[in-house]
Amino acid sequence: MQTASTNICERLFNKSIRETSLLLNIPRSTVSGIITKWTQLGTTATQPPIGRPRKMIERGQCMLKCAEVTNCL
């Protein structure tokens, strides 16, 4: 399988998304996503998530709610 930069090169040579996906044997949605990411961000690398990470995981929140309910009764 070829890299994302190859997809972009194919797109730059006036190939359609469909033609590019057929040439590289990968889904059209993947090609479209890579091209969109490239045009918006200028890179295909994964970006870090936005915002602060959660301090408490879901299981801890559920346990806290259970403790509140049992203490209130």
Is residue 72 pLDDT above 70, yes or no?
no
Q: What is the pLDDT of residue 63?
A: 84
* Average pLDDT value over all residues in the chain: 78
Element holding 6 (H helix, E strand): helix 4-12
The helix/strand/coil state of 44 is: coil
Query: How would residue 2 be classed by pLDDT, with cut points 50, 70 and 90?
Result: low
pLDDT by residue (tens digit) across 4-38?
566 566 565 678 888 888 888 889 998 888 888 88
Q: What is the pLDDT of residue 29?
A: 92
User: Which residues fall within 8 angstroms of residue 63, CB to CB, at 6 or more apart?
Assistant: none
